[in-house]
Structure 1
Amino acid sequence: MKQATIPHFGLYGESSGIDDPDFFHIEDIASRSSDLGWKISPHRHAQLFQILILKSGQAHVQLDEQQQTLQGAWAIIVPAGVVHGFCFAPDTDGRVISIAESLLEDAYQEKAAMYIKPLLSQALHIDFNGHRNLFSELWPLIQQLENEASRMREGRALMSEYLIKAILLLLHRQHRHDKSSAASRAYNHHALSLKELIENHYREHWSSHQYADALGTSISRLNRMSKTTFNQSVLDLIHDRLLLEAKRRLIYTARSVEEISYDLGFKDPGYFSRFFKRSAGLPPGKFRALSNQPTAT
């Protein structure tokens, strides 16, 4: 049965939020999922960034409306706000690392920002199959982070922060080897800032000119950068973000089309329906009926 809103958790199944700005948590995949039939229902985290490291086994992964089955060694990046769910094969071996976004804020001011920040901005699958040498460098860092989390020692928070950054840097290296990472290699400061601004203001229906003004550049320059980096215009990015959120709410909530249209800043539900049909190829009501995706339970 669909819920009124997409479930938000601190950690999955735990209703309490995360107030500690230095919070991180690491656990074996089996420790939470095995008691739930190896299934984690679709949900999202408001202020937690997650990394799933699969060492062996299989996982059916749902990130927003995209679904993929992964086998073997993978890393899965889940930024805050992304709807995600998993169905693991029994005895899948791996770890889940949950990190408060605020813990990584210092990294944005460091040299590491150019490597780490792109990983925080989009959901990713990073394939380590065929790259066992790099995975053999990654796994000891995971184990050391797990060890730090399990013991109270002097400098625990600082050591954990260093280990998390080292893990993210290794993930960045492997992501660059992937042919699908060409767009991420072209990221620059304005591209990342544009994505952040869209995330913060897409419900306000900012125009392309407003984004250009906020970034201190011209609309033509911003569009050129956007097309080079994302292969889309600024307006396309704005519309895609609105469409993604509309699809999320149609699939995962029981709110009416009219309610969703107002939630997303549309003043006229009829205009929202026309926008959705033009963008998705079918009306929102039909999209919801056809999706009819059974959530993992």
Structure 2
Amino acid sequence: MLTPHQTTVHADVFRSGLDDRFVGGLVNFPGRTVQCIMVLSGCALRLKPESEETIVGPAISWGPKSLDTRIKAKAGSNGIIMTIGEATLSNAIGHKPEAAALRLMSAREFTLGLTEKPDIAKSVTACFDAIFKELEAEQTGMETVIEAQIRIMLVSLWRAGVNEMIEDQSYKSANSTLERFRHLVEAHLRERWPVHRFAKELDVLPDRLHDICTRTLGKPPQRLIRDRLTLEAQALLLRSHQTLDQISDHLGFRSTSQFSAFFKAEVGVPPGSFRRASKQPGWDEKAAQAGSYADWP
């Protein structure tokens, strides 16, 4: 039996045979959940209350999983569907220089045709093969290997130009200042920039940035930064073996006591107590989380 932390990723092969079939609908995780669908042949439908998208294979489709969206594999089609929880996705993205771009990309919905991208198709297929082997073997370090494969997959899609494709298709109507602010927060989270530094980089007045964030998200920029930092701290406390000193240093705090004071002010308990409580039976991770990447646009 897999533990709750090990079940933040689920992958299935689907083969529709002579009939259409719905896939991936019974799998969900606390927090933000995404689905990655690779249609190898035939086609699948992404069905929403107000729209319908046809995914014609070979193609890979990525997007947030929601209760009002269903995936139907058409008769004669086959492929893979993977559901990824927020914890696994965050660990897979990591903290390398490209993490900000990967995080932005992973928060969007996109479909990439693979007919003219055989190298990308080969790379993604190899990642899925490795993930299936790990899920079947259930050996020590399974999560680490799976997260590494998801990171390879994301980097492959990033190199294939998904970010540029998303910008052409759906970002045109988005608030570019807010989008750039999020990108800067992700890239400089551990440098602890004040709001005026972000405003300077964005070439806007701090009051203008405050107005954009408040009108669009209902939160001022400082609150968004603190929420994002708190979420990162929670993820490290829950899913890493780093000490409090190491986490404090990693997140850019001057001392462990400063980090503890910040965490207690945001979450209500010191970080050590939070980590100990997370190991107790019946602990509700979703209820304890400070926020989600989905809080951003």
Instruction: Give TM-score scaled by structure 2 length.
Output: 0.52
Residue in structure 1 matched with residue 46 of structure 2 by the alignment: 61
Question: Structure 1 residues 188 and 144, CA, compared in 2 at 3 Å: closer, same or farther?
Answer: same
Residue in structure 1 matched with residue 277 of structure 2 by the alignment: none
Contact 2:18 2:75 (C-alpha < 8 Å) held by counterparts: no
**Which has the larger displacement, 77-86 or 89-98?**
77-86
Q: Which has the higher contact order (CA 8 A, sep 6+)?
A: 1
| 1:74 maps to 2:59 | yes
Residue in structure 2 matched with residue 38 of structure 1 by the alignment: 21
Percent identical pairs in the alignment equals: 12
Helix, strand or coil at the partner of 1:51? strand
| 1:166 maps to 2:157 | no
Contact 1:57 1:89 (C-alpha < 8 Å) held by counterparts: yes
Residue in structure 2 matched with residue 190 of structure 1 by the alignment: 181
Q: 1:130 aligns with which of 99, 103, 116?
A: 116
Helix, strand or coil at the partner of 2:182? helix
Residue in structure 2 matched with residue 149 of structure 1 by the alignment: 135
Contact 2:13 2:78 (C-alpha < 8 Å) held by counterparts: yes
Helix, strand or coil at the partner of 2:40? strand
Tell me how many residue pairs correspond in the alignment: 197
Q: How many Å apart are 1:21 and its aligned residue?
A: 6.7
Residue in structure 2 matched with residue 118 of structure 1 by the alignment: 104
CA RMSD of aligned residues (A): 4.3
Q: 1:217 aligns with which of 178, 186, 199?
A: 199
Report the AA paired with residue 75 of structure 1: I
Contact 1:22 1:103 (C-alpha < 8 Å) held by counterparts: no
Give per-residue Cα distances to partners, 1:202-248, cap 9 Å, x unaligned.
xxxxxxxxxxx7996389558999xxxxxxx7799569xxxxxxxxx
Give per-residue Cα distances to partners, 1:149-168, cap 9 Å, x unaligned.
11122322211111111111
Q: How many Å apart are 1:192 and its aligned residue?
A: 4.5
Instruction: Give TM-score scaled by structure 1 length.
Output: 0.52
Residue in structure 2 matched with residue 243 of structure 1 by the alignment: none
Report the AA paired with residue 65 of structure 1: E
Helix, strand or coil at the partner of 1:20? helix
The whole-number CA distance in structure 2 between the counterparts of 1:56 and 1:25 is 21
The whole-number CA distance in structure 2 between the counterparts of 1:215 and 1:34 is 57
Helix, strand or coil at the partner of 2:139? coil
Question: Structure 1 residues 155 and 238, CA, compared in 2 at 3 Å: closer, same or farther?
Answer: closer
The whole-number CA distance in structure 2 between the counterparts of 1:86 and 1:112 is 30
Give per-residue Cα distances to partners, 1:256-296, cap 9 Å, x unaligned.
xxxxxxxxxxxxxxxxxxxxxxxxxxxxxxxxxxxxxxxxx
Q: How many Å apart are 1:113 and its aligned residue?
A: 1.0
The whole-number CA distance in structure 2 between the counterparts of 1:141 and 1:65 is 33
The 5 A counterparts of 1:1-297 are 19-20=4-5, 23-30=8-15, 37-39=20-22, 45=28, 47=31, 48-63=33-48, 65-81=50-66, 83-106=68-91, 107-176=93-162, 179-182=165-168, 183=171, 190-192=181-183, 217=199, 220=204
Q: How many Å apart are 1:72 and its aligned residue?
A: 1.4
Contact 1:34 1:90 (C-alpha < 8 Å) held by counterparts: yes
Report the AA paired with residue 38 of structure 1: R
Helix, strand or coil at the partner of 1:153? coil
Helix, strand or coil at the partner of 2:199? coil
In the TM superposition, structure 1's runs of 4+ consecutive aligned residues that sit over 6 Å from their partners are 33-36, 41-44, 222-225, 233-236
Structure 2 residue ranges without an equivalent (≥5): 187-194, 219-297
Helix, strand or coil at the partner of 1:217? helix
The whole-number CA distance in structure 1 between the counterparts of 2:196 and 2:70 is 35
The whole-number CA distance in structure 1 between the counterparts of 2:24 and 2:196 is 38
Structure 1 residue ranges without an equivalent (≥5): 1-17, 196-212, 226-232, 240-297
The whole-number CA distance in structure 2 between the counterparts of 1:65 and 1:44 is 23
Report the AA paired with residue 168 of structure 1: L
Question: Structure 1 residues 26 and 42, CA, compared in 2 at 3 Å: closer, same or farther?
Answer: closer
Question: Structure 1 residues 143 and 85, CA, compared in 2 at 3 Å: closer, same or farther?
Answer: same
Contact 1:57 1:92 (C-alpha < 8 Å) held by counterparts: yes
The whole-number CA distance in structure 2 between the counterparts of 1:76 and 1:174 is 13
Q: How many Å apart are 1:190 and its aligned residue?
A: 1.2
